[in-house]
Amino acid sequence: MAMMKKLFTMNEVRELMAYFGELVGFDAVMELCDRSSEFPSSDWFIVSKGADLKVVEKPELLEYIVQKWHVELDTITLLENGIQLKSRE
In contact, 15 and 21? CB cutoff 8 Å = no
Count of Cβ atoms closer than 10 Å to residue 25 Cβ: 22
What is the domain partition of the chain in residue ranges?
2-82
| pLDDT given at position 89 | 43
Phi-psi region at 50: left, alpha or beta (left = phi > 0; alpha = psi -120 to 50): left
Q: Is the dihedral of CA 35, 37, 42, 48 positive or negative?
A: positive
Mean pLDDT, range 65-73, rounded to an integer: 96
Tell me, yes or no, if the pTM score tops 0.75.
Answer: yes
Task: Return the closest-CA partner of residue 26 out of 46, 56, 2, 42.
Answer: 46
| pLDDT given at position 1 | 62
How many CA atoms does the CB half-sphere of 6 hold within 13 Å?
14
